[in-house]
């Protein structure tokens, strides 16, 4: 069976083509989406969980590659008093629940896709991300195959997987190749026979194209959880049946700025003042800002590593003694001691979502201090994410000034098609609409358009 697989920074989704239309399969309880999160009691247990889920033909080679991790996993199970079959690694909502239950223990990763193209990853780090992605894909494939079997269909064997234009802001094509290689290895280990990749904004555009009644130059703006991607595409009813669409794709830009970055920015500028980020020392000097940024930079491996070092604990202890408002810095001390960075950023995410429907929101931070709430208004949110919004505008303009767009004399899009979960925010929508006010602005399915486009495109890609 051919599927479209949106392995997203925030959520995963899978679509199949049934009776002439895209059908999204349910990956969670009453939901078509699986949160892109993983929690393990110990990171070496991830390799063991991957091994258990591998096709039999791949187990021997994998066991050689991960011999040390698999040996360590047996020891860890003994130390943690876990049976050989007791679940020790969790994915999706269950991962979130396990983390919130024991935030100071275990290994938790949110939005692993955001790390895949990171520069300077050591071989063992690449291996770890291969295992994280593999385990998540294994989990998804089991769910998908079960539902396909219930419909009397064969298991998923071919997948069109979405990818951002650029996985990282730095590293260029080398980073993209590294990330794509990780996804390819993971998909094969999860049991897919063949995979292909498609830019996510193009996938979203291909779904939108099916609704057009005349040809148009469409600027697709996909603001996802980890990246923002823009594609300028000529599309319409007379172009849908073309086998080669390369000449219709005028320009692509992308950068690692998405919902995760907005959450972190809001956590920094909206929440961290209540942890002392804008307070002063007894001598009048301002607090060092870097420690607060590292506390919430959950998509930056080095920042989180620095924050949870012993030296940071000692620095926080010293800051409490020298602070004019030590009670604020003590909140940072609690955050550090209990490893609650993800919980703080999660509250920022919930605040962002709430501000899509209300002018202000009170975030409950009572896991830090009983009764602690932080109110954030929509203008405060817009100010906190201003630099990110500027990057989105720049990406749109870069796509419009590509060499092919200029050769076709396309200076303004006829339509701006907005998709991606983060685009639900009025602040994001308003910023996008301002850049090309003369264009018609269409808001698509915030979550399903990429999946639908991948599923549509997959039918031709694997059968053609």
DSSP assignment of 141-153, as one string? HHHHHHHHHHTT-
Q: What kind and span of H or E run contains 253?
A: strand 249-255
In-domain check, residue 45: yes
- The answer, yes or no, to whether residue 63 has pLDDT greater than 90, is yes
Split at pLDDT 50, 70, 90, the class of 139 is very high
State whether 35 and 123 are in the same domain: yes
d(CA 452, CA 429): 22
pLDDT per residue over 394-450, tens digit each?
A: 999 999 998 888 888 888 999 999 888 777 778 888 888 889 999 998 887 767 889
| Residue for token pair 């979130």 | 96
Q: What was the pLDDT predicted at 168?
A: 67
Per the domain annotation, does 12 fall within a domain? yes
DSSP 272: G
Instruction: Give the end of a domain, one of 386, 404, 432.
Output: 386
- In a domain, residue 462? The reply is no
- Residues 253 and 348 occupy one common structural domain: no
Range in 81-95, 125-139, 216-230, 372-386 with the lowest mean pLDDT: 216-230
Residues 317 and 182 in one domain: no
> Is 264 within the bounds of a domain?
yes
Q: Cα–Cα distance between 41 and 154 in angstroms, integer?
A: 34
Whole-angstrom distance, CA of residue 422 vs CA of residue 415:
19
Residues 26 and 94 in one domain: yes
Closest alpha carbon to 201 in 454, 435, 405, 378: 454
162 and 14 housed in the same domain: yes
Q: With a cut of 90, say whether residue 207 has pLDDT above it.
A: no
- The answer to whether residue 449 sits within a structural domain is no
Helices (H), 163-309: 172-190, 200-209, 259-266, 290-296, 301-307
User: What sign does the CA torsion over 41, 45, 47, 50 have?
Assistant: negative
Q: Is the pLDDT of residue 173 over 70?
A: yes
For the segment 235-259, the average pLDDT, to the nearest whole number, is 84
> Percentage of the chain surpassing pLDDT 70?
98
**pLDDT over threshold 70, residue 295:** yes
CATH number of the domain that residue 63 is part of: 3.30.420.40
How far apart, in whole angstroms, are the C-alpha atoms of residue 162 and residue 224? 12
Give me the mean pLDDT over the 307-322 stretch. 95
Q: Clarify whether residues 239 and 112 are in a common domain.
A: no
pLDDT, residue 394, reads 92
405-437 in b/e burial notation, b at 16+ Cβ within 10 A?
beebebeebbbbbbbbbbbbbebbbebbeebbe
- 20/17 Cα distance (integer angstroms): 6
Please tell me whether residue 41 adopts helix, strand or coil conformation.
coil
pLDDT at 148 over 90: yes
- Is the predicted pLDDT of residue 306 greater than 60, yes or no? yes
Give yes or no: residues 17 and 86 share one domain: yes
Q: What mean pLDDT is predicted for residues 40-55? A: 95
Q: Are residues 33 and 178 in the same domain?
A: yes
Distance of alpha carbon 332 from alpha carbon 317, whole angstroms: 10
173 or 308: which leads in pLDDT:
308
Query: Mean of the pLDDT values across residues 112-136?
Result: 89
Range of the domain at 326: 260-386
Indicate if the pLDDT at residue 248 is higher than 60: yes
Q: For residue 103, is pLDDT > 80?
A: no
**Is there a domain that residue 18 lies in?**
yes
CA dist 279 to 285, 289, 329, 340, 372, Å? Answer: 9, 10, 9, 21, 18
Radius of gyration of the chain (CA): 23
Whose CA is closest to 51, among 38, 61, 39, 42? 61
Number of residues that this document lists for the chain: 464
pLDDT for res 142: 97
Distance CA 86, CA 48 (A): 12
Mean pLDDT throughout 186-194?
Answer: 96
Alpha-carbon span 382 to 96, nearest angstrom:
28
Q: Residues 256-273: what's their mean pLDDT? A: 92
User: Would you place residue 171 in the very low, low, confident or very high pLDDT band (cuts 50, 70, 90)?
Assistant: low
pLDDT score recorded for residue 17: 94
Residue 254, pLDDT > 90, answer: no
Q: Residue 274 to residues 197, 267, 292, 293, 328: CA-CA distances in angstroms?
A: 43, 10, 11, 13, 6
When divided into structural domains, the chain yields a total of 3
**Are 340 and 395 within one domain?**
no
Q: Same structural domain for residues 42 and 181?
A: yes
Residues 179, 122, single domain; the answer is: yes
Q: Are 265 and 384 in contact (CB under 8 A)?
A: yes
Rounded to whole angstroms, how far apart are CA atoms 362 and 100? 20
Name the CA dihedral angle for 452, 198, 115, 101, rounded to a multiple of 10 degrees: 20
pTM: 0.79
Residue range 5-43, pLDDT digits in tens: 999 888 999 999 998 899 999 998 889 999 999 999 999
What local confidence, expressed as pLDDT, does residue 270 receive?
A: 96
> How does residue 170 score in pLDDT terms, banded at 50, 70 and 90?
low
Q: Are 48 and 40 in contact (CB under 8 A)?
A: no
Same domain, 376 and 308: yes
Q: Which helix (H) or strand (E) holds 21?
A: strand 21-24
Residue 208: inside a domain, yes or no?
no
Quickly state the pLDDT bin for 169 (edges 50, 70, 90): low
What's the token pair of residue 311?
A: 């030296």
């Amino acid at each position: 069976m051919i599927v479209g697989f949106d392995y997203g920074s925030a959520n995963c989704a899978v679509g199949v083509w049934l009776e002439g239309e895209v059908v999204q399969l349910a990956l969670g309880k009453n939901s078509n989406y699986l949160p892109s999160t993983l929690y393990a009691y110990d990171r070496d247990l991830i390799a063991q969980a991957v091994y258990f889920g591998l096709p039999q033909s791949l187990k021997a080679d994998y066991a050689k590659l991960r011999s040390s991790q698999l040996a360590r996993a047996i020891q860890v199970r003994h130390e943690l008093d876990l049976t050989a079959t007791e679940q020790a690694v969790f994915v999706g909502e269950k991962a979130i629940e396990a983390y919130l239950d024991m935030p100071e223990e275990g290994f938790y990763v949110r939005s692993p896709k955001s790390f895949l193209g990171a520069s300077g990853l050591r071989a063992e780090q690449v291996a770890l991300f291969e295992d994280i992605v593999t385990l998540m894909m294994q989990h998804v494939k089991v769910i998908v195959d079960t539902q396909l079997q219930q419909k009397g269909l064969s298991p998923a064997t071919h997948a069109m997987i979405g990818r951002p234009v650029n996985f990282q802001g730095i590293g260029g094509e080398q980073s993209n190749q590294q990330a794509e290689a990780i996804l390819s290895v993971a998909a094969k280990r999860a049991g897919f026979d063949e995979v292909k990749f498609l830019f996510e904004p193009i996938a979203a555009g291909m779904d939108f194209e099916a609704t057009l009644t005349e040809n148009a130059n469409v600027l697709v703006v996909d603001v996802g959880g980890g990246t923002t991607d823009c594609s300028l595409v000529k599309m319409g009813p007379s172009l849908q049946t073309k086998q080669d669409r390369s000449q219709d794709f005028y320009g692509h830009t992308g950068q690692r700025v998405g919902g995760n970055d907005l959450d972190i920015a809001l956590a920094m500028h909206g929440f961290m003042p209540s942890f002392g980020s804008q307070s002063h020392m007894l001598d009048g000097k301002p607090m060092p800002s870097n420690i607060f940024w590292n506390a919430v930079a959950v998509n930056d491996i080095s920042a989180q590593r620095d924050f949870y070092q012993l030296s940071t604990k000692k620095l926080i202890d010293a800051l409490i003694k020298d602070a004019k408002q030590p009670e604020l810095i003590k909140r940072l001390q609690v955050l550090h001691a209990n490893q609650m960075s993800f919980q703080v950023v999660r509250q920022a995410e919930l605040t962002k979502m709430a501000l899509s429907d209300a002018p202000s929101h009170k975030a409950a931070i009572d896991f830090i201090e009983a009764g602690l709430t932080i109110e954030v208004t929509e203008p405060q949110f817009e100010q906190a994410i201003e630099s990110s919004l500027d990057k989105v505008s720049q990406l749109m303009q870069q796509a419009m000034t590509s060499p092919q767009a200029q050769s076709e004399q396309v200076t303004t899009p006829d339509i701006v098609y907005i998709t991606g979960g983060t685009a639900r925010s009025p602040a994001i929508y308003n910023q996008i609409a301002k850049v090309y006010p003369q264009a018609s602005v269409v808001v698509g399915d915030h979550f399903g358009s990429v999946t639908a486009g991948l599923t549509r495109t997959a039918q031709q890609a694997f059968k053609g």
